[in-house]
Amino acid sequence: MKQVLVWFVCLLTIGVTACSDSDEKNGLQLSATRDKILANGSDEVYFTVTTGGTDVTSAAVIKEQTSGEVLTNGVFVTSVAGTYSFVAEYDGIRSEVVTVVAENGAGFKKNVLVMKFTAIGCTYCPRATHAISQAEEEVPGRICPVSIYGTLGGMKDFMVDEYIESFQKQFKFGSNYPTVVIDHADKWNYSDGIEGMAFAKALNADGKVGIALSTEWNGDDLKVEVKVKGSGKVDYATNLVVAILENNLYAKQTGAETDDDNYHHHVLRYCLTDLYGAEHRIEKGTLNMSEDYVKTFTYPVSSEFKKENLEVVAYVLKSSDKSALNCQKVAAGKKVDYEKL
């Protein structure tokens, strides 16, 4: 009896609207490329309307329910934060509601990648170390220091030949130690401090990508999970670099002013990716606010390393010029989430 009544009601409403059973059979589907965007007036979400597997977007009407705004070409953009609800209508059929959240903020906190090229036999290298430590004090939580060791005066402590040789070619510094490179791009006159041109430029840059790091120990294996998001749609390719660093390594440093200068920190020990992230390229348009780009690594830690002194650094390079868009670091066994503004 109930089934007969349902069909009777449907017959009465033919020509006025479709009943729910008819909607399901026709399968009018409204889908969005993302469920979150940045409320910056330029970040976009694209809608598609299909029925029975056929794209009818150009013939459908897509509107935001609260304002009644009809979208042009199925694209929505806003500068006002909030939750927006959209429906599509086509041939008398109405889709289910699709919700998009527009978030405030200019993006992610921008950290600065500081790469120090140094050597145990370098007289002036402690000065660069002191300048980097001073920068860490002045802008706490915003520096990702990495120390890469070469050879000078026949002293090769902590040197990885293939790493230093590749970086020497990339940044063209030969045996000029110390050399400090900011954000994998600009050499820093460290005597100028954070007011120096290269450092100030990096500090004031927008955080176009965010990085979350999670690390955990499984015996002597270190599992590393890296997540990357864009503050909006990133319309160029990027590369992911992940490396293992070690702190509190002791070696007599030429030019040491105190015994503290003989302890070496943030020393590059092993790169989990290739040095420039080419093997972990993230294609144009992949990074956005809605989805995480995720990579996991498992590193069997050598017995020559002290687990309690290890840390992990991850940074994202722009594929075209290899400049760093952002970086993040964490002590091995710990984790850090995305840092939003």
Mean pLDDT per block of 10 residues along the chain (341 residues) reads 40 37 63 85 87 94 96 92 95 95 80 97 96 95 97 88 95 96 97 90 90 97 97 91 98 96 97 97 90 96 95 98 98 96 76
Q: How far is CA 195 from CA 156, 192, 281, in A?
A: 33, 6, 33
The pLDDT value recorded for residue 26 is: 53
Reference 30, options 82, 80, 94, 76; nearest CA is 94
Residues 34 and 103 sit within 8 Å (Cβ to Cβ): no
Class of domain 2-103: mainly beta
pLDDT value of position 2: 39
pLDDT at residue 8 in the model: 38
Class of domain 112-336: mainly beta
Ranges for all domains in the chain classified under CATH 2.60.40.10: 2-103, 112-336
d(CA 127, CA 341): 32
